[in-house]
Structure 1
């Protein structure tokens, strides 16, 4: 890997070998994370868990995955840590091992917290590496990096259906092999980053700091608040699908657990496609326009979903996933252009907030399902994308180099 990477210098265009290695690592990382919601039907049945407890499992995982991200980003803005990615994956490896043996609710919470901590360490620094390797195409770089994660998330339900459902919870132990592969890849990426990419990172940071977005501080604060609210609407709605879509399909259409996992895969794969499209389109037409379309454009499909039969449910989740997922790359790069020179902090803040909102949303939605029913909750959540109207308050950013 280092041999191939070393052919690129810091003055080259987009460093695709670095981006592909990061995307592959992101794929492995998020494949392992996605096993958690994929095994919910199994552990709910095995340990007689309530929907509220399922929500708490997601909250614990997402809270651990979000808590340290801004801190990691802030620290690595000042002192880059090339090998932190491999350290984070070691936390994930430990959590998976414990989860395969977990036979109690609190044991499960500890296991998913360790997996979440690994994710919290992984995302800010790997996102910065993607920016450093972007060659100026920051939207494209973030999309390539993130599509690996989304593809990994889509594989989780299939792997759960093929391996964990027939062979049981203990079979999770086999997935530690994926974590070991990821550690090897991330150590090689870290070695290259230490030897070559660090200079590019420092140079790029100066380049970011030499730009002026010409926005008053008050407008920047308002824009960040609006972006965080948009993240809230996106990830609350996504939590209703990623955590409870299988239960919805099983209860409404009486499909099997394995069939429901295939439908979840379709949704998660459509998210991967949307993520890949969002960044490059934002590079060409502007981040704000992508944000407009990606969040508000989801609304008609989301509102129709609770009324659809099984066939149309499968059809509707595809545009919902594609359109909704195209937002995050645009939101992240828009925020980094809004606050230049703070790549790690901004990435940590937005990744962390996204994970946190996903966890909080899952916990609240699970509790609401316990007190009402899953049909009512899916109907209620279908209106969340309408919050995308707040995009009107975002300023147009035109970054120019200071003289």
Structure 2
């Protein structure tokens, strides 16, 4: 079999593990939001703003992507986790709100440096099974976001909010181990030496309609996804549950999402990405409404499992779609995809936070469930495959 068509399991797993290490630490904010809201006496709208601050460097993802097309990609994946690990472990000891904002902003730089080039690396080592490769990659991230809340809440239970800095050494050790692994993945040379035949601006213009469709899908699906991944612990504590209960609920969603990401890419390789996205587009709003009206019952967790499985499966399918584009600027195209993700999710988070302050989180959850069906027309505009 041609090596370019072969699925390189070892390299895919290595990159996916790097994704896991990185995202364990980048997921600390949501489970700590109830404590941060109390510590700084901030509103839900401002809490949404903190999440946006963390993602703000994503605005520069196209520049990161353009640079990654010319520089050794593997070194970005080595440095980025160390930045994120350090900054996110220090948010508990931030003495002032401005320090917290600086830490979140710096961690966001690490997030951008990691997430822009890593899917391109996955594409190169996945051969003709891009969907499967993206599923492995997203599995690492979703398991991380399942483990992350429990990991940081365990640290808070042991040492208090101000003791989260003690999580730095383990993260840095993991980053050091990744250095020795990534030295053996010679992908960056292929990007660095490849002759670019199409200008970057021309490449963007060529796929503009496609990115508009992606933006529409991201915005309307992120209303549900953002409301749960950012405010589920806060929603649960407002209902009288403990911080641990809220953190467990979030981990349940993330863990079931990990299962969804594992299977969705391979399924989309078989039945088509458009068909897979349509199934998700119709299912997510219904499941969100079901959760809202069962959140006080024993059925809440089974429904959260279903929501997580369906809702998180969207991203690896869209990543596979983006990375199937034939272009001489793969990291740039992926950077634009990540920037679109940031912009639409940032706006949706502000909307959710504002609605939560104005109408309460339960009412805002109901509204987002109904509005999220508008993702379906944008899915229909995607090319069939």
TM-score normalized by structure 2? 0.90
Q: Distance in 2 between the 1:54 and 1:137 partners?
A: 39
- The match for 2:42 is 49
**1:165 to 1:51, Cα distance in 2 relative to 1, 3 A:** farther
**1:33 to 1:356, Cα distance in 2 relative to 1, 3 A:** farther
TM-score normalized by structure 1? 0.86
**1:218 to 1:100, Cα distance in 2 relative to 1, 3 A:** closer
Give the gaps of 5 or more residues in structure 2. Answer: 198-203
Matched, 1:282 2:274: no
In the TM superposition, what whole-angstrom CA distance separates every residue of 1:215-260 from its partner, at most 9, and x where no partner exists?
xx999533321111101112232111111111222223x2111111
- The match for 1:197 is 187
Matched, 1:143 2:135: yes
Which of residues 107, 110, 114 in structure 1 aligns to 2:102?
Answer: 110
Which of residues 215, 221, 226 in structure 1 aligns to 2:213?
Answer: 226
- The match for 1:163 is 155
Q: Distance in 2 between the 1:138 and 1:266 partners?
A: 27
2:74 is paired with a residue whose SS is: coil
- The match for 2:225 is 238
Conserved 8 A contact 1:92-1:179: no
In the TM superposition, what whole-angstrom CA distance separates every residue of 1:49-107 from its partner, at most 9, and x where no partner exists?
2212211111101223x123221112212334321122222322441354242021111
Conserved 8 A contact 2:28-2:88: no
Superposed, 1:200-219 pairs within 5 Å as: none
Conserved 8 A contact 1:25-1:185: no
Conserved 8 A contact 2:280-2:314: yes
Conserved 8 A contact 2:25-2:85: no
Matched, 1:337 2:324: yes
Q: Distance in 2 between the 1:169 and 1:130 partners?
A: 36
Matched, 1:374 2:349: no
1:152 deviation in Å? 0.3
2:380 is paired with a residue whose SS is: helix
Conserved 8 A contact 2:142-2:254: yes
Q: Distance in 2 between the 1:348 and 1:294 partners?
A: 24
- The match for 1:213 is none
Q: Distance in 2 between the 1:173 and 1:27 partners?
A: 19
Which has the larger displacement, 222-231 or 75-84?
A: 75-84
1:385 deviation in Å? 2.8
Q: Distance in 2 between the 1:177 and 1:46 partners?
A: 26
- The match for 1:58 is 51
- The match for 1:31 is 24
Q: Distance in 2 between the 1:186 and 1:360 partners?
A: 34
**1:364 to 1:11, Cα distance in 2 relative to 1, 3 A:** closer
1:135 deviation in Å? 1.9
Matched, 1:134 2:107: no
RMSD (Å) for aligned C-alpha atoms: 2.5
Which has the larger displacement, 357-366 or 263-272?
A: 357-366
Q: Distance in 1 between the 2:217 and 2:368 partners?
A: 14
Which of residues 282, 285, 304 in structure 1 aligns to 2:290?
Answer: 304
Q: Distance in 1 between the 2:121 and 2:334 partners?
A: 11
**1:147 to 1:292, Cα distance in 2 relative to 1, 3 A:** same
**1:136 to 1:388, Cα distance in 2 relative to 1, 3 A:** same
**1:371 to 1:299, Cα distance in 2 relative to 1, 3 A:** closer
Which of residues 276, 286, 291 in structure 1 aligns to 2:277?
Answer: 291
- The match for 1:214 is none
Q: Distance in 2 between the 1:178 and 1:235 partners?
A: 32
- The match for 1:248 is 235
Which of residues 168, 171, 180 in structure 2 aligns to 1:188?
Answer: 180
**1:355 to 1:30, Cα distance in 2 relative to 1, 3 A:** farther
Q: Distance in 1 between the 2:187 and 2:381 partners?
A: 37
Conserved 8 A contact 1:31-1:156: yes
Which has the larger displacement, 34-43 or 95-104?
A: 95-104
Q: Distance in 1 between the 2:381 and 2:78 partners?
A: 40
Q: Distance in 2 between the 1:201 and 1:328 partners?
A: 24
